[in-house]
Amino acid sequence: MCICGSLKKFMDKKHAQGILRGLDPFMKLVIVECMEMATSGQQNNTGMVLIRGNSIIVLEALEGV
């Protein structure tokens, strides 16, 4: 599975963008080439991250699959 350029919005009002490499039945996501966008506008390259599903508000594909 690969959703290129997926955008996630979290409960703490942060956003992350990267490539979705996998997920499990509990909606935990593995994101590679992840870029975190803080509310202050600062962007941090975080590499590979695992995100818990219960903290996600919106999951959007920015490109066609």
Residue 20 maps to which CATH number? 2.30.30.100
Name the pTM for this structure: 0.69
Which among 4, 2, 16, 1 has a CA at the least distance from the CA of 57?
16
Q: Over the stretch 20-50, which tens digit does the pLDDT of each residue have?
A: 898 888 888 899 998 888 778 788 898 998 8
Number of domains, the chain:
1
Q: Which domain holds residue 8?
A: 3-61
pLDDT at site 3? 47
Cross-sheet strand order for the sheet of 15-23: 43-51, 29-37, 15-23, 3-10, 56-61
